[in-house]
Amino acid sequence: MYDLVFKNGEIFDGSGQGSFCGDIAITGSVIAAIEPSGTIQTAAAKEVIDVSGLIVSPGFIDMHTHSDFTLIADGRAESQVHQGVTTEVIGQCGASCAPVNSKDDNIVHDIELFGLEADTINEGNIKKVFKNSKVFRWLINLLKKQIGNEIYFGNLSSIIHNSLLDDPKPYRQNVKSLQANLYSYIKRLDIKEIEIDIPYSRSERIKLKI
């Protein structure tokens, strides 16, 4: 028995072939059958919807959106769903609504990044070690290569994936967390060489002071 059957729809199955008039049966959250119209037995179905004159297709992929901002306000994404969009690709412009983290985050949260022992950490030595760390020197060199010596959070995320994380320990699982903490270190340790701001109220920008 099917939970739901859409009957008599014009079906585009995503294969690239032409459409055909058919029925689609759903069990739970799974498509159980796709058959020509009249083939699927609907008598035992819990619900039958006649979609004659309508198109039934896989969800569309929107390849360039900024819905990461709007989803925070309304996670239902109705404007997209009503247009048949079920997958979105975000971040192409380098803007990002992340990080959203507390200003009280502990600046020594990721001590492995600097190779320090927890019982040796204090505000003085962590700043010194941070400015001599591999990640800080890498960031300075990266900023020197950017137009305007600046980069936005979204772009930096993708670069970190490809550059800092060749060694999977310890951050491959959570790049955004690493990046948010990196920004936090720079702010809380008052690193004079780098400025972080949010121009145009969009996404955090990190900029080299020269």
User: What domain range includes position 80?
Assistant: 61-90
Is the domain of 188 the same as that of 123? yes
In the numeric block, which tokens belong to residue 170? 């310890």
Q: What is the residue-averaged pLDDT of the chain? A: 78
State pLDDT tens for residues 42-73.
Answer: 988 999 999 999 999 999 999 988 787 777 66
Please indicate, yes or no, if residue 99 is contained in any of the structural domains. Answer: no
Domain for residue 133, yes or no?
yes
What is the pLDDT confidence band of residue 157, given thresholds at 50, 70 and 90?
confident
> Would you say 30 and 76 are in contact if contact means Cβ atoms under 8 Å apart?
no
What is the tally of structural domains in the chain?
Answer: 3
Asked whether the whole model's pTM tops 0.75, one would answer no
Last residue of a domain, one of 33, 57, 81: 57
Identify whether residues 35 and 9 lie together within a single domain: yes
User: Which one-letter amino acid corresponds to residue 94?
Assistant: G
Same domain for 27 and 43, yes or no, is: yes
Residues 74-110: tens digit of each pLDDT = 778 888 888 899 998 887 776 666 555 444 344 444 5
70 in the same domain as 34 = no
